[in-house]
Structure 1
Amino acid sequence: MSSYAHLLPASWESTVTAWLQEDCPSFDWGGYVVGDKPSTASLWCKSEGVLAGVPFVDAVFKQLNCEVAWFFEEGHMITAAENIDDVPKGSVKVHVATVSGPARNLLLGERVALNTLARCSGIATASRAMLSAARDAGYNGIVAGTRKTTPGFRLVEKYGMIVGGVDAHRYDLSSMVMLKDNHVWSTGSIMCAVQTARRVAGFSLRIDVEVRSYDEAVEAVRAGADVVMLDNMDGEKLVKCARDLRENYGKDHRFLIESSGGITLKTLSDGHVDNVIDIVSTSAIHQSTQHVDFSLKIDH
């Protein structure tokens, strides 16, 4: 059976090496204090959330000659129902893994692993919540993230979206042609921008065009856009535009309709999730997302 880790490229572990080098670029003063005696540490989850980022944590400790034994599969929703017995009511403390290895190495990997796990799990949790809200609102289409990710940390954040169950959207500028307002203004028209892109992108790349009105959407469809993104529209305007586009041009042109801009858990059901729309994309699942709280404690 495939795991999410099988998505990761061959080169990704070098990123983990860079993280460790950044966190300890010279002397390890704390490591001198504790030495390298064989030890174990308990990884605790202290807030509810989806467990995501397991391969990154494994790689951190593998590079430090430590081993991680997980008690939950990646993608599992950790809840207070799984608490250890002596936790106060309303609190969360769930033992999710045990890490073993030299004491110094456990602490060398501690913060790098926790930061990565907390961020990735937070994005997975927000993604799952957004997808659940969309389904509860009767929306059957695609819920996706965006490219508004943290430089140098995109792999982890996109990975978290996938574990959370949403579409990661395009990974980078090379993954899909997205023509936004600046592209259109720079070339003079939507038609010109699409035609210019198509000449070099070929058949294997979709072209997604951002539009702000029905007339611009029509121009994008006629130009041959594969996806028409209705940007910052909501409510009746969004739904009417999407339905008119589908009714008037759906028979003669093949295209997807995407809604984007200002979509959050609070605004999701406010006209953004009509099933005439194929894709709802949002950065709310990975920007300003609350982390899931984890801690690592040496057993004693």
Structure 2
Amino acid sequence: MEQHAPFSSLLPPPQIESIVHAWLQDDMPSHFDVGGHVVGNEIKSAQLLMKSPGVLAGLPFFQKVFDVCGGCTIQWEDVSIEGTMMDASGSNKVLLATVTGPVSHLLRGERTALNTLSRCSGVATLSYQCKQIAERHNWKGMVAGTRKTTPGFRLVEKYGLLVGGCATHRLDLSQMVMLKDNHIWSAGSITKAVKKAATVAGFTQKIEVECQSLDEAIEAAEAGAHIVMLDNFEPQQLKEDAKKLKEMYPHVIVEASGGITMDSMSDYFDENVDVISQGKLTQGYDCIDFSLKILH
């Protein structure tokens, strides 16, 4: 059976395969796999176990690692559904799948596959917890990640955000225009930066501006920004300025960002705040523990 991964159709197979090839090359850059020579190519099976609690995420990447290693098949258990909070801890390990193939291939892909699953599930778990907090407070906005991703691992971490129930924010530099302080200073003003961006962004891309005050936010909205980020505001000031901004420009999306964590995010919930973004979702997550054990 295939893995239960509702978001897997988002991932283009050629792109994932290219990324996985790079991961495996990074883990084994020379030509010889001495450990593989030791164990040989006898067909063996290994069990994938989840060993700590968290949200399961990253199954398509785990699958693709062993597809690329070659000669391996994966039998997924019915419980292996991405987005599910698993109660795995201590002796209560959860069997997720059985991987079968030449034992040298199993061990060649083992650590790369587990690293990916562990980190993707870590992002999904933290995202899920933040989403739960928003729902408990009946806040209708979106919790989002940022572009603070691990180089070479962006796709996995962004995927984990989605599985956990949060928004990805922009996927990369070219998905949306974000004008930050350095852009503003270089262009000369918020208005100049927005107007110049609009000449090439056309009607297909939104423009967001990072603002440090209500005056800057008003200038950005007046210049044509679609999204205004109120950056590093204290919660009360944020709510007051978001209300004023929405009254003047109800169509503008208001994002709160800057030092917000899972512990402090509820202080920023407000009907005039549409998005709360957190770099911690892809920069400060705990990894979930998995193992792949060869059956004797």
TM-score range, shorter chain: over 0.9
Match of 1:50 in 2: 55
TM-fit CA distance, 1:249: 3.3
TM-fit CA distance, 1:233: 0.8
Match of 2:86 in 1: 78
Match of 1:220 in 2: 220
Q: What are the superposed Cα offsets for residues 211-270 of structure 1, whole Å, 9 maximum, x if unpaired?
A: 0111111101111110010001132100000001112333xxx21111111111111112
Match of 1:295 in 2: 291
Q: What are the superposed Cα offsets for residues 93-149 of structure 1, whole Å, 9 maximum, x if unpaired?
A: 111111111111110010000000000010011111111112212211111110011
TM-fit CA distance, 1:23: 1.4
Q: 1:294 to 1:2 in 2, by over 3 A?
A: closer
* DSSP 3-state at the match of 1:196: helix
**TM-score of the superposition, structure 2-length normalised?**
0.94
Distance in structure 2 (CA, Å) of the matches to 1:249 and 1:200: 23
Match of 1:258 in 2: 255
Uncovered stretches (5+) of structure 2, i.e. residues with no partner: none
Distance in structure 2 (CA, Å) of the matches to 1:168 and 1:248: 28
Q: What are the superposed Cα offsets for residues 165-217 of structure 1, whole Å, 9 maximum, x if unpaired?
A: 11101011100000011111111111111001001110100000000111111
Match of 1:165 in 2: 165
Match of 1:202 in 2: 202
Which stretch of the first structure deviates more once superposed, 63-72 or 118-127? 63-72
The percent of aligned pairs where both chains have the same amino acid is 52
Q: 1:2 to 1:29 in 2, by over 3 A?
A: closer
Distance in structure 1 (CA, Å) of the matches to 2:45 and 2:112: 17
Q: 1:291 to 1:2 in 2, by over 3 A?
A: closer
Distance in structure 2 (CA, Å) of the matches to 1:78 and 1:96: 11
Structure 2 counterpart of 1:277, one-letter code: V
* DSSP 3-state at the match of 2:282: coil
Matches within 5 A, 1:67-216: 67-71=73-77, 72-80=80-88, 88=91, 92-216=92-216
Work out which of the residue numbers 9, 16, 20 in structure 1 matches 2:20.
Answer: 16
* DSSP 3-state at the match of 1:208: strand
* DSSP 3-state at the match of 1:113: helix
Compute the RMSD of aligned alpha carbons.
Answer: 1.4
Structure 1 counterpart of 2:243, one-letter code: R
Distance in structure 2 (CA, Å) of the matches to 1:28 and 1:173: 38
Structure 2 counterpart of 1:70, one-letter code: W
Match of 1:247 in 2: 247
TM-fit CA distance, 1:34: 0.9
TM-fit CA distance, 1:39: 0.5
Structure 2 counterpart of 1:192, one-letter code: K
TM-fit CA distance, 1:2: 8.2
TM-fit CA distance, 1:288: 2.1
* DSSP 3-state at the match of 1:269: helix
Structure 2 counterpart of 1:286, one-letter code: T
